[in-house]
């Protein structure tokens, strides 16, 4: 009864603590060419934020690669025309957590309010705050200021990972329904007089898994053929040398295409389909076997069809957390948590697809294979546990399913 | 054929079966009797390898019963179960294949049984379209489809109307003629008397009784005789004197009666005949044996009394 809400609470805490809390000290370079801020802030920054002011503009490349800026984590560029255009650009080496971003924004906003009140009005700061126009902050990766690499490619991986989770959920529920239906209509006793429980469970998981793979293959064929046909019909000149030159003189429709070109290029050029599909299949199989065993466990052990709901909720939440972890890794690809999430079997199918789409640095592909090995070992272990629970639970009817009962069944 | 040796089973520190042993001979029908919760279904599941015993073992033809022997057993569980949305035909063939038949064999056997039960027209119907009795017939066919040597049937007559009970009864006797061995768990004691060669009574996990139906009924007889006659009732009663106790009577007309009486003072049936033969015209006389139902009730009550003491 209380397991569901407690699990939700725990997950919320985990998510909040990983996205907000950090002990890291952030060194920030505030670039203020016109010295609008006068090398000071209104209130003292927190201990983990150290601000340095310079009156020159350092572009992204200089900040990213010049030796003297290497000690800085973040640069904040106060635009020379900030009074009118309100633009502030925050660029980072490693994406700061939400609370750090918020603190930086707060400090810049407060200082700007002070300056505006001081120079342009007779209003008090609090009165001015009521009528003021907020600053426009934009966040940039200093290594990818145009946001070309990380997000689009990561989102492709995220989509692949999301598909895995979607398939795992769909076919996991198929296992659960199938097991609980055989249990509730009592045919399972007839089946068990011909085959042993482990064979029955394995057959069920593999059968549904093959059906999932057939559907996946159908998706690949349909989407692959569709993309090929699009290329032949909708984007025939996409990759011809004259395309860019002709672009200007083309009709509105072509103009629209040119706007889409980064995405089109990503779809047709950047994604390494063979690589992605092979690992998609492997992570799908591992994830499906791992999560499938949980669904089979619940199906076999529930006393009635409605009884298992309390255990389906936390399991669905785990899948949801897996999606969230993918989202987290898209934005924070290089944190310690992101690395761990890639090896935890609950999240690795999602996270590794994101990492795979971003590409692995030389010498770090072992992470991909280690993650797969951990996932498959965990899946085999969980299938063994599921086999025990299936054997003990499948012929128990009309009981109230309790966690204690499940733990006991794993031991026999 | 099948030998159950010292089987014990425990659930949650509770003894479900305690040291049960019996054997099933070739061509024999064995009744497994007992009140609800006695442990019959658990015992049947153990024989079918669905659950394992905590102690003891089961042998098949003298060898430890293993999974490979299950192909020679047909099991009809008490809680009937079929895939509701599957057609009768697909269902029977699927379960036949699970029991080791090829598709062709399963199909041939299915045609034979559907025809034998006169239900060929149901072949394409889904189970959910059938009545409970109809589904029971399909389940029975699934059990016997692979022509097993041993049949283990948990309440095989439940859910059937009298006509179909007779149909199933005949089929079971037919299997017996073919030399197949059958274990039946049932609450219907008439069936036990009619078709079982032997019976075992289980109560609270313990074997209470075992023997042929005839032996068990004799074991519980109370020396009651039924005598039918034509003549004067008063003359008959006077002739008996104190050596006999009339416990019941049926009046069939002005001078036709059936009397149930108990012998006293060590009297035998010959003494009874000598006593009354000059006063009435006897049309029939027989010893009254308790029904299996009486045997069942008496032995369960007796065991419960022992336990409560």
- In three state form, how does the secondary structure of A306-357 look? CCCHHHHHHHHHHHHHHHHHHHHHHHCCCCHHHHHHCCCCCCHHHHHHHHHH
Kindly list the domain boundaries of chain B, sorted by start residue. Answer: 2-218, 222-288
| Nearest CB to B81; choose among A186, A194, A195 | A186
Selecting from B45, B73, B98 the residue whose C-beta is nearest the C-beta of A191 gives B98
One domain, residues A72 and A47:
yes
CB contact B80 to A (< 8 Å): yes
Let me know if residue A10 belongs to a domain: no
pLDDT tens digit sequence for B44-86: 999 988 888 889 999 998 888 888 888 899 999 887 788 888 9
Q: Which residues of chain A have a CB within 8 Å of the CB of B132?
A: none
Give the global pTM.
0.68
pLDDT per residue over B135-177, tens digit each? 888 999 999 999 999 999 988 888 788 888 888 889 999 999 9
Question: How high is the pLDDT of residue B128?
Answer: 86
In this structure, are A109 and A167 located in the same domain?
A: no
| Cβ–Cβ contact B307 with A under 8 A | no
CATH number of B222-288: 3.30.70.60
pLDDT at A161 over 50: yes
- Domain range for A84: 23-141
Mean pLDDT of chain B: 87
Which residue of B lies nearest to A178 if distances are taken between CA atoms?
A: B83
Residues A351 and A279 in one domain: yes
CATH number at residue A57: 3.40.190.10
A vs B: CB pairs below 8 A: 43
Mutate to test the interface with A, among B50, B58, B78, B145 (most CBs of A within 10 A): B50
Judge if A302 and A401 occupy the same domain: yes
Judge if A264 and A385 occupy the same domain: yes
Whether A253 has a pLDDT exceeding 50, the answer reads no
Rounded Cα distance between A82 and A84, Å, is 5
Alpha helices in A124-149 (DSSP H): 125-131
- Please report which confidence band the pLDDT of residue A235 belongs to, taking 50, 70 and 90 as the band edges: low
A7 falls within a domain: no
- Which of A116, A141, A166 delimits the end of a domain? A141
More confidently predicted of A8 and A301: A301
B2-218 under CATH 3.40.50.300, yes or no:
yes
pLDDT range class, residue A339, cuts 50, 70, 90: confident
| Residue A16 counted as domain residue | no
Nearest CB partner across the interface for B84, out of A185, A191, A195: A185
Q: Which of A262-276, A309-323, B4-18, B280-294 has the lowest mean pLDDT?
A: A262-276
Residues in chain B: 309
pLDDT for position A264: 63
Q: 3-class DSSP state for residue A406? A: helix
Check pLDDT > 50 for residue A252. no
Same domain, A135 and A176: no
- A185 neighbourhood in chain B, CB within 8 Å: 81-84
User: For a pLDDT cut of 90, what percent of chain B falls above it?
Assistant: 27
Q: Listing from the earlier edge strand, what are the strands of the sheet with B280-288?
A: B244-251, B256-263, B224-231, B280-288
Chain A residues inside the 8 Å CB shell of B69: none
Q: How far is B4 from chain A (nearest CA, A)?
A: 17
Whether residue A395 and residue B77 make contact (CB cut-off 8 A), yes or no, is no
How far apart are the C-alpha atoms of A89 and A87, rounded to whole Å?
A: 7
Judgement on whether residues A244 and A282 belong to the same structural domain of the protein: yes
pLDDT computed for residue A250 by the predictor: 47
A4 within domain boundaries: no
A136 and A159 assigned to the same domain: no
Residue A6 lies in a domain: no
Residue A99 forms part of a structural domain: yes
Per the listing, tokens 């006063």 go with: B279
What number is the average pLDDT over the span A381-385? Answer: 90
Interatomic CA distance for residues A145 and A126, integer angstroms: 35
Is the Cβ of B110 closer than 8 Å to some Cβ of chain A?
Answer: no
Cα dihedral sign, A156-A162-A167-A168: positive
Write down the ipTM of this complex.
Answer: 0.77
pLDDT band at A16 (very low <50, low <70, confident <90, very high): low
Distance between B107 CA and the closest CA of chain A, angstroms:
19
Same domain, A171 and A258: yes
Has residue A9 been placed in a domain?
Answer: no
pLDDT at B258: 92
Question: Residue A13: which pLDDT band, with cuts at 50, 70 and 90?
Answer: low
Mean pLDDT, rounded, for A66-89: 87
Residue B268, both tokens? 């035998």
pLDDT value at residue A334 = 74
What percent of chain A is modeled with pLDDT above 70? 81
Q: Could you tell me the end-to-end alpha-carbon distance of chain B, in angstroms, rounded to an integer? A: 39
Is the domain of A165 the same as that of A106? Answer: no
3-state helix, strand, coil in chain A (%, to 5): 65, 5, 25
Residue among A177, A183, A194 with most chain B CBs within 10 A, to mutate: A194
A192 touches chain B (CB under 8 A): yes
Number of domains composing chain A:
2
Domain shared by A136 and A163, yes or no? no
Q: In terms of domains, do A122 and A169 share one?
A: no
Is residue A3 in some structural domain?
Answer: no
Going by pLDDT thresholds of 50, 70 and 90, the confidence category of residue A22 is low
CA distance B184 to chain A (A): 16
């Amino acid at each position: 009864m209380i397991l569901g809400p407690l699990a939700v609470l725990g997950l919320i805490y985990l998510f909040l603590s990983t996205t907000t809390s950090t002990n890291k000290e952030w060194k920030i370079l505030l670039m203020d060419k016109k010295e609008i801020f006068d090398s000071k802030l209104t209130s003292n920054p927190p201990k983990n934020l150290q601000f340095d002011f310079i009156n020159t503009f350092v572009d992204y490349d200089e900040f990213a690669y010049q030796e003297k800026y290497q000690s800085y984590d973040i640069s904040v560029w106060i635009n020379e025309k900030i009074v009118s255009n309100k633009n502030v650009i925050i660029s980072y080496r490693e994406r700061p957590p939400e609370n750090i971003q918020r603190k930086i924004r707060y400090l810049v906003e407060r200082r700007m309010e002070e300056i505006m009140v001081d120079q342009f009005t007779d209003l008090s700061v609090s009165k001015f705050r009521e009528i003021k126009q907020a600053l426009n902050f934009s966040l940039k990766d200093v290594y990818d200021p145009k946001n070309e690499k990380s997000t689009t490619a990561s989102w492709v991986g995220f989509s692949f990972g999301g598909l895995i989770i979607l398939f795992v959920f769909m076919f996991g529920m198929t296992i659960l329904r199938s097991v609980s239906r055989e249990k509730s209509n009592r045919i399972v006793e007839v089946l068990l007089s011909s085959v042993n429980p482990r064979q029955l469970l394995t057959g069920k998981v593999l059968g549904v898994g093959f059906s999932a793979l057939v559907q996946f293959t159908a998706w690949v064929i349909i989407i692959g053929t569709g993309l090929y046909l699009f290329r032949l019909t909708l984007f025939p000149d996409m990759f011809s040398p004259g395309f860019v030159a002709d672009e200007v003189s083309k009709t509105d429709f072509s103009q629209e295409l040119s706007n889409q070109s980064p995405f089109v290029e990503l779809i047709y050029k950047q994604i390494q389909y063979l690589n992605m599909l092979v690992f998609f299949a492997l992570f799908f199989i591992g994830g499906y076997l791992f999560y499938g065993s949980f669904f089979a466990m619940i199906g076999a052990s529930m006393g009635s069809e409605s009884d298992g709901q309390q255990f389906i909720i936390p399991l669905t939440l785990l899948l949801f957390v897996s999606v969230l972890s993918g989202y987290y890794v898209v934005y924070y690809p290089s944190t310690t948590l992101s690395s761990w999430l890639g090896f935890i079997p609950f999240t690795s199918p999602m996270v590794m697809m994101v990492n795979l789409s971003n590409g692995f640095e030389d010498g770090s592909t072992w992470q991909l294979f280690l993650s797969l090995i951990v996932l498959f070992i965990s899946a085999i272990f969980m299938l063994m546990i599921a086999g025990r629970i299936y054997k003990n639970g499948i012929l128990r009817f009309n009981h109230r399913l309790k966690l204690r009962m499940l733990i006991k069944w794993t031991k026999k | 054929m099948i030998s159950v040796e010292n089987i014990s089973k425990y659930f949650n520190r509770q003894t479900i079966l305690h040291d049960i042993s019996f054997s099933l001979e070739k061509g024999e029908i064995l009744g497994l009797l007992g009140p609800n919760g006695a442990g019959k279904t658990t015992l049947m599941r153990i024989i079918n390898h669905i659950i394992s015993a905590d102690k003891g073992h089961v042998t098949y033809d003298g060898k430890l019963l293993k999974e490979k022997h299950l192909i020679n057993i047909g099991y009809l569980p008490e809680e009937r179960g079929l895939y509701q949305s599957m057609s009768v035909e697909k269902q029977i063939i699927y379960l036949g294949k699970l029991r080791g038949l090829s598709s062709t064999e399963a199909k041939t056997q299915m045609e034979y049984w559907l025809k034998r039960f006169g239900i060929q027209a149901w072949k394409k119907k889904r189970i959910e379209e059938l009545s409970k009795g109809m589904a029971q017939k399909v389940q029975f066919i699934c059990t016997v489809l692979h022509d097993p040597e041993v049949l283990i049937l948990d309440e095989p007559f439940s859910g059937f109307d009298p006509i179909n009970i007779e149909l199933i009864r005949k089929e079971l006797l037919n299997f017996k003629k073919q030399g197949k061995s059958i274990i039946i768990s049932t609450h219907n004691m008439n069936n036990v008397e009619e078709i079982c060669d032997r019976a075992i009574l289980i109560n609270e996990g313990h074997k209470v009784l075992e023997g042929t139906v005839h032996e068990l009924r004799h074991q519980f007889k109370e020396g009651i005789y039924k005598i039918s006659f034509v003549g004067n009732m008063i003359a008959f009663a006077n002739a008996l004197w104190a050596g006999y106790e009339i416990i019941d009577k049926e009046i069939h007309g002005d001078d036709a009666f059936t009397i149930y009486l108990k012998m006293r003072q060590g009297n035998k049936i010959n003494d009874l005949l000598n006593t009354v033969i000059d006063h009435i015209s006897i049309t029939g006389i027989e010893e009254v044996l308790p029904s299996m139902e009486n045997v069942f009730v008496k032995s369960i009550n007796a065991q419960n009394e022992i336990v409560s003491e």
